[in-house]
Chain A
Amino acid sequence: AQKVTQAQTEISVVEKEDVTLDCVYETRDTTYYLFWYKQPPSGELVFLIRRNSFDEQNEISGRYSWNFQKSTSSFNFTITASQVVDSAVYFCALSEAPKTSYDKVIFGPGTSLSVIP
């Protein structure tokens, strides 16, 4: 069965600090896909990144970086030099390679990040 755990319910940091959001997943498939989404106070979720299980390279996009480690089933997200605009709820998600019409994406419970000026 698929499962996504985001153990950090809420995190508060002071502006310019670095912060890492944890994501641990469970799946029996060897082919799967991991995602991160951001939900700002406006409510609309924004896609940040998609990573497939065969690509363990870490990725950096500006102040954002992602660390994918299959050995620990983790896909952690780091924001460097945080800014107030980073305040949002962040969701990690997992999907397996599609096989049937019942396949779906599993979202974690989310981590609420507050960046204090």
Chain B
Amino acid sequence: DGGITQSPKYLFRKEGQNVTLSCEQNLNHDAMYWYRQDPGQGLRLIYYSQIVNDFQKGDIAEGYSVSREKKESFPLTVTSAQKNPTAFYLCASSRQVNNEQFFGPGTRLTVL
């Protein structure tokens, strides 16, 4: 089955720790995205990538880092520099930026 997987579903982090959220797609899509969603809020774009080995900062990139070494993978690292990382993180992919996005099930990150 084609789709997007995100792991883990729930993640707990102590303050000061870096954590990496996984996002994998087998849809052969060129573009991939990371969004953050806070309770009752909309989607905010963290990073996006239109092609392998290239990515761009979104609206709230500070405290986050990504890599795009393979077409199917776009991991997101939440660093200790992110002051308020507790949120719901969604990964998505699309054939190109003007095509519909397919979303993963999300990772809920909680900082203890």
Contact = CB atoms under 8 A, between A and B. Distances in A.
B82 to A, nearest CB: 20
A45 B51 CA distance: 22
Interface residues of B, number: 27
Contacts, number: 64
Contacts of B99: 33, 50
Contact of B42 (A32, A47, A97, A107): A107
Contact of B43 (A35, A101, A102, A107): A107
Place the interface of chain A in its size category.
20 to 34
A102 B58 CA distance: 9
Contacts of A104: 33, 45, 48, 56, 58, 97
Contacts of A103: 50, 97-98
Residue picked from B45, B56, B100, B105, most chain A C-beta under 10 Å:
B100
A46 B104 CA distance: 10
B96 A98 contact: yes
Nearest to A108: B42
B54 interface: yes
Contact of A44 (B40, B43, B105): B105
Contacts of B40: 112
A33 B97 CA distance: 10
Contacts of A107: 42-43, 45
Interface of B: 33, 40-43, 45, 48, 50-51, 54, 56, 58, 88, 90, 92, 94, 96-106
Interface of A: 32-33, 35, 37, 42-47, 50, 91, 95-98, 101-105, 107-110, 112
